[in-house]
Amino acid sequence: MIDQHGVSVEKRAWPAIRRGLKCKCPNCGKGWLFHHYLEQVKHCAKCNEPLAHYNVGLFLPLVVITVVIHVLAFVMLELELNGHGSPLLYLYAVVPLSIMLPIAILPSSKGAILGLMWAKGWSDEQDR
Ligand SMILES: [Zn+2]
């Protein structure tokens, strides 16, 4: 991969994903990736890396729904296998968990996907 100065740069995926999980810039790991809940910044405040042309699209809900379904299935299976599976417990524990878990993991998931896209160079600029 070649940067804007013509210098060959190797962008490693796992460090970028790890930085994205912390909602930090995939390049430097210091600047914040979002300035609101899920609104990504146009440029990193620390290293000025352009981040606006990375669009996670429908991959974000796919990842979040997959994670949430697996967590909820594990919780419900544990409740049933231990004999605690009752409709009231599902109503008061599993339903709120199914609402709060996606809200909690959305920024980190989006950051991880943005980190992967940044490392692989999968940006909207390729389509232009
Ligand atoms: Zn940065």
What's the gap in Å between 30 CA and the centre of ligand 1? 6
The pLDDT of residue 2: 55
Q: Could you say which DSSP state residue 126 is in?
A: G
Regarding pTM above 0.95, the answer is: no
The pLDDT of residue 127: 62
Residue 128 pLDDT level (bands cut at 50, 70, 90):
low
Residues with CB in 5 Å of ion ligand 1: 25, 27-28, 31, 44, 46-47, 49
Q: What is the mean pLDDT of residues 69-82?
A: 93
Cα–Cα nearest to 49, from 32, 70, 36? 32
* For the chain, domain boundaries: 13-120
What's the gap in Å between 11 CA and the centre of ligand 1? 13
The pLDDT of residue 5: 61
pLDDT digits (tens, 9 = 90+) for 95-119: 999 999 999 999 999 999 999 999 9
Q: How far apart are CA 9 and CA 26, in angstroms?
A: 14
Q: 24 pairs with which residues across the strands?
A: 32
What's the gap in Å between 102 CA and the centre of ligand 1? 26
Q: Is the pLDDT of residue 34 over 70?
A: yes
